Homo-oligomer: A and B are copies of this chain.
Amino acid sequence: MNINTGLKNYSVKELPHCKIHGRTDTSQDPLPLFWTGSGLEVNVSGTELWIEVEVDFDYHEPWAACRIDGALMSRQMLLPGRHKLCLFRNMSPEAVKNVCFFRELQAMSEDNACHLLICGLQTDGEFFPVPERPYKLEFIGDSITSGEGTYGAVGDQPWIPMFMSASRHYAAMTAQALNADFRLISQGGWGVVCGWDNDPRHALPAYYTQICGLAQGETNEALGAQKPNPFKEWQPDAIIVNLGTNDNGAFDQPQWKDPVTGEIFQNRRNPDGSLERGSVERFEQGVIRFLKLLRSCNPNARIIWAYGMLGYELTLPIAHGVETFCREDQDTKTTFLQLPNTTADTIGARFHPGVKAHERAAGILTEYLRSIL
């Protein structure tokens, strides 16, 4: 390889201009990327750009992807260690390229060792300001919002990072259509009140106010994951909550028993298969509580509870929760939106929404956001 001797090193802190995507502790150096879709965006001239990352994990390896001028260019598995990845070579030196390197893997509550840090960039070009986009969107969800099944063949089953993404994703598509910045806060299998397994610890609202509270262990703590999220620094124009699918799934799962207290948790069905009233009310209360929390942290955001990509069964309980919240708190900026269910034509890997299902949901959501923002 002909060596480019004009490269210069920049730590993230040394970058004269950049945009950091996703909740993180910006005082850290290197910079941790906790949530899927988190990343670093630069506008840079020059012929060549490298990124240096530090990676580790016990079980679940992170994947990363890169967009150049908005087009997805690469996607790859990251192995443990400190690596330099070349993001482009031999481009026109004067042209300013927009480059966004981002995490394709959700925060991993099940692998405390898993982390992906950006150490710095190398280039022979210069950095230019990355302008604010007109809108900021925050998506809160489960496996759908972790992009499970957006890669992989129909029929593939393992629960592994390779099949998850932030790149072929309804949030990314919506944001691109609206020219918006976006953040994802998601955890596969989790819900509003409990996870798919009836475990009430697998509920996302409990971690909403921390930077990335569900990334645990010493390393993540040192990286700032447990710190309170500085909401004032990034107020979204709209929050899209795509939760409820796992609370729904729990109605068909065995009860969960607290290993410490012995307490039981279960969403139950009536003998005729309909949803048991007490379980539904507990779920509705969870919806209301979470909306109150979201509103307290985001006073001016439009909040859209968007549901349906893996079934419509909790439509009425969610809508009822949303309606109750709006009525009781006289909130006029919170609504419910149904996203189209996944069909045999649009399914992806792991029986999850495929690219076409994400495109369809993004279409409905984009149209709606366009009408209210």
Neighbouring B residues of A320 by C-beta, 8 Å: 319-320, 323
A61-B86, A274-B332, A319-B319 given; 8 more Cβ-contact pairs under 8 Å = A69-B156, A71-B152, A71-B156, A74-B77, A315-B336, A315-B337, A316-B319, A319-B323
Are the C-beta atoms of A332 and B272 separated by less than 8 Å?
yes
**A11 in the interface (beta carbon within 8 A):** no
Least CB distance, A313 to chain B, in whole angstroms: 9
- Segment among A87-95, A181-189, A249-257 that sits at the interface with chain B: A87-95
Are the C-beta atoms of B68 and A152 separated by less than 8 Å?
yes
**A230 in the interface (beta carbon within 8 A):** no
Proximity bits, A142-166, B CB within 8 Å = 1, else 0: 0000000001110111101010000
A-side interface residues, number (CB < 8 Å) = 66
Are the C-beta atoms of B73 and A151 separated by less than 8 Å?
yes
**A338 in the interface (beta carbon within 8 A):** yes
Are the C-beta atoms of A69 and B1 separated by less than 8 Å?
no
Neighbouring B residues of A1 by C-beta, 8 Å: 56-58, 61, 79-80
- Segment among A126-134, A207-215, A236-244, A364-372 that sits at the interface with chain B: A364-372
**A70 in the interface (beta carbon within 8 A):** yes
Are the C-beta atoms of A341 and B368 separated by less than 8 Å?
yes
**A288 in the interface (beta carbon within 8 A):** no
- In Å, the complex CA distance between A85 and B85 comes to 13
Indicate the member of A57, A80, A327 with the most B CB atoms within 10 Å.
Answer: A327
Within 8 A of B (CB), among A309-327: 312, 315-317, 319-320, 322-323, 326-327
**A298 in the interface (beta carbon within 8 A):** no
**Complex partner residue of A160 from B91, B95, B152, B155, CB under 8 angstroms:** B91
